[in-house]
Structure 1
Amino acid sequence: MTPFSYRNASDRAEALALGAAGDARFLGGGTNLVDLLRQNVESASELVDVSRFPGSIRETDTGGLRVDASVKNSALAAHPLVRSRYPMLSRALLAGASAQIRNMATVGGNILQRTRCVYFYDADGAQCNKRRPGSGCDAIGGFNRYHAILGASEDCVATHPSDMCVALVALDAVVHLAAPDGERTVPLADIHRLPGTQPEIETVLRPGELITAIELPSATAAATNSEYRKVRDRSSYAFALISVAGGLDVVDGAVAEARIALGGVAAKPWRAKRAEAALRGLPATHASFQAAAEEELAAAQPLEGNAFKVGLAQRTIVAVLQSLAGDHA
């Protein structure tokens, strides 16, 4: 591990001032960053601890929720308004990691966690364009069971590991950012980048920029009638092969609104816009759900080891939507 200094920022202004220097990094729960530092995948001259900032979950004037970045994952999952208005989010958080990690991990850190690709973590032997641009991607032609089937490139086929972010994308969450020169908001769907030819650039955050909060809009009927389903190799403490955050509003037997996002398929949480558009106005039936799922996965480009993900994603989308449709399906 490369030596670094540690500073405990007393407030946001101090954190931003410290974070603007050199290759300083903000430290939330540390459940991902500390591992990366230990394994020499990442390095930092200074860690700026922001985990002790006050964290609250409060209703906005428009009926949504504002969640401070320092809120722990376990607290967000258990909040009554999250459980009642945005159940897919609560269930996504509970599907991630272990109870101990959820008690440490922060909302801001969850958004910025990095891929769990085995080649990315193998700093001593594997070639990885995320770690060393231009070195190659050993996952292509290697062990790629967990890798991307949508939005990948010839330079990277890694997937984003967050469960929480899949639900947040489906819910149209917005991320609040702060920097020494001001503040801005970015839709969570636009925070993460597809790899293209620069897989080492994973987000649109600027150097020294700090996530301060996420904001959820007022809950629609589809947000309230929602669930999160995660398919993995074992029943706990495993990353998704495929996950689906789904929400459905059925009026007079037809789909008035559908919200669908996928995890385990791309370098970012994948909003299934094709499937959502295909469903709008159609009968809430198995046939409609199947056709929409096939429409979304038509662009999939699986690798040798993960071709099964295409069918698995389609079946999981259909299962989630059928469950939400209830007697209408």
Structure 2
Amino acid sequence: MKTMTTTITEEKKLVETNTETNGKKAERKPEKIKDGELKASGEDYKNEKEKITLFSFNEAPPHLQHNPFIRSGYRGYLSTKMCIESMFWWTNETINIWSHIFGWMLFLGLTLYDLFLLNIHASFTDKFIVGVLLMCFQVCMILSALYHTFSCRSEEDYSCYLTYDLLGISLSLLAIYLSGVYYAFWCHRTWQQFYLSSVLLIFLFAMVLQIPRLNVSSNLKLLVFVAWAAYGVVPTFHWTIIMGGTANPVVQLLLPRVLGMYAISSLAFVIYITKIPERFCSGKVDYIGSSHQWWHFFVVGALYYWHNTGMKYVEYRMNHGCSTNLQL
């Protein structure tokens, strides 16, 4: 009996020794689990609390370690059920998830208001364009929320939902261009068709790059998105010229708003790429105030801003029609 007790004591010391390295506790590593499996069992509140385990950056699943300045609040590998439940935990993804859930609610409300409650005598085509714009914005919000919710299921799911997230961003860019080109070149059908076609071709090219088996690098995908966004300068400059320059009232009304859209988007992109502010205060904004959260808020704000810009243009065109002194 004494020998058995001694052996158990020695094994316990050995375990404790192995859990420390250079005076520090060994890092926990979340285990992969199959859908439906839970790390903890039981239905009482205590056991439920035990399931809520968060990890540091070094302990997090490797595919989630893409921002070294966010030091804590990471989820481990979770089943589908636990991923959904984690929406209501306080993690470094909570604001990312809910900011775009609320964004979806905003654009759903605007869809119902613009199409069914707003008393505006627009054509079916005009209402269709507005509907497509807001539906694309909603899809963007939903796919983003899904990505941030289920990215911790597995590395395969992370890649899959990241593709969906990029699809949502692409649809938003497409909707912004389609609505902008449609209304800006309303009185110039040839140029309208040209720019609509070019935007659709760029969209299709961006989608082809998302095919997993092509193994396109993330940097190239990002470059295409940046180039696509920058392409908007071309139709904007052209529109300004054919409208007669800045002396035209509609140019005075809408050009500043287009430039404002670029300013908001550029600021959001710079924050996203440079990882500010966490770059300068690592570990201080893990849960609230990180660059990706600011990116989400700016995206919602930019899309809402563009919706309002489109409504102003619709109102102007309905009141003034096409000018007779436009240039080609």
TM-score exceeds 0.5: no
What TM-score, normalized to structure 2? 0.26
Which of 1 and 2 has greater Rg?
A: 2
What TM-score, normalized to structure 1? 0.26
